[in-house]
Structure 1
């Protein structure tokens, strides 16, 4: 697929996916969603990629300003929601677990962690995209909003499920029931963000964090741990423990277990085989 609204590059084992419609503040369209999922599928298939970083084109002065207003007008004219995608859309993350097989929930089925480097406003679907990342770094003073209340929409794409699990019910209710604008500084206090950083440090911090993860954790461990986290949100503690014990017995037989032990004993970086 030719990428027109997304930039994709790989740097030192990290795939950087940049939302790039700067003339529209990186606003989301069906074309962008098609390209975004294509980029994720590409990163999934690349054995050299260990972690994915998602950010916004800085020229757009936003991470993602939400759905493009032309698309919102189109929904109104058609009298129905039109995602703007077709049957050729890539399916990264699908097929791992039924509870991950839905729009944006597919992030949970990816085998590689996703870090959001939020360098500007994130509204509507921009907030959704940030919420489904595994970790979130942002710059101070930028604006977030769920936005749906202004358009007579429901909380979009599972925000009513994921935000209470990230920031707790009290904060999630405030964000979702008011559709108010809140800042990244507030988001940090709410527990939505991992860290606030100056603009000039944001992307490098996200990249360094990703590289550290890739160096210190085996690809198999990252994949299995990510899937455990999101599966365990749906079940009881005993089931989570039993599944962890089963996985331990399986993974201890893999070459990366022996490599991890040797690297620790020899005080060197592990050479993961994946």
Structure 2
């Protein structure tokens, strides 16, 4: 696919997707969504990729400023919401569980962790992208907002489901009912973020974190643990324990189990088969 709105690169097992419409503050369009899903699918299918990082083009001065204003005007003129995508759009993460087969919820069906490196404002769909990442690191003072209230929209793309699970109902109500602007510093206090980092330290830290995850955790463990986390949100405790026991008995037979034990005892980096 010809990429016009994102950059996609793989370095030493880490795939980085950069939202790149710098003249529009990396604002979201149907084209960007199409390219983003293509890149996620490529990274998820590539056995060499262990971790995925999503960030914004620093020249845009934002992580993602939300939906492009042109798209918002288009919805008004058409009298309906038009996502700007076609039926043949890539479907990363689909087919794992019915509850993941929807826009942005598809992140939960991916086999690899997604880390959001939030290097500036995240509004509307930008906040959605951050929320559906598995881990979130940001720079201090970045402005966040759900934004939907000012456009007579509902809470978008399942934010009403995921935010209460990330920050609790009290903070989620504050974010969603007011549509107010809040800062990454506030988001850190709410538990939305894993860490705040100076702009110069953000990508080095996130890359090092991803590198440690890729080197220190087997691909099978990453895949199954991520799946457990999101499927168990819909389960009772007993079902979660039973499934964990089933996976344990299955995964202990994989060569990566023996390799993990051997590497630990020999104090060396494991050579994962995946």
Instruction: Tell me the TM-score normalised to structure 1 length.
Output: 0.99
Aligned length: 274
Match of 1:89 in 2: 89
Kindly indicate whether residue 154 of structure 2 is the aligned counterpart of residue 154 of structure 1: yes
Match of 2:63 in 1: 63
Match of 1:138 in 2: 138
The 5 Å alignment of 1:30-179 reads: 30-179=30-179
What CA distance in whole angstroms lies between the structure 1 residues aligned with 2:139 and 2:204?
12
Unmatched segments (≥5 aa) in structure 2: none
Aligned-pair CA distance for 1:33: 0.1
Aligned-pair CA distance for 1:12: 1.5
Aligned-pair CA distance for 1:88: 1.7
What CA distance in whole angstroms lies between the structure 2 residues aligned with 1:260 and 1:116?
28
Aligned-pair CA distance for 1:238: 0.4
Secondary structure at the residue paired with 1:63? coil
Aligned-pair CA distance for 1:87: 1.4
Instruction: Tell me the TM-score normalised to structure 2 length.
Output: 0.99
Aligned-pair CA distance for 1:252: 0.5
What CA distance in whole angstroms lies between the structure 2 residues aligned with 1:61 and 1:261?
45
Stretches of 4+ aligned residues off by more than 3 angstroms: none
CA-based RMSD of the aligned residues comes to 0.5
Aligned-pair CA distance for 1:8: 0.4
Deviations 1:213-255 (A, max 9, x none): 0111000000000000000001100000000000001001111
What CA distance in whole angstroms lies between the structure 1 residues aligned with 2:36 and 2:200?
25
Match of 2:215 in 1: 215
Secondary structure at the residue paired with 2:55? strand
What CA distance in whole angstroms lies between the structure 1 residues aligned with 2:244 and 2:45?
26
Match of 2:198 in 1: 198
Unmatched segments (≥5 aa) in structure 1: none
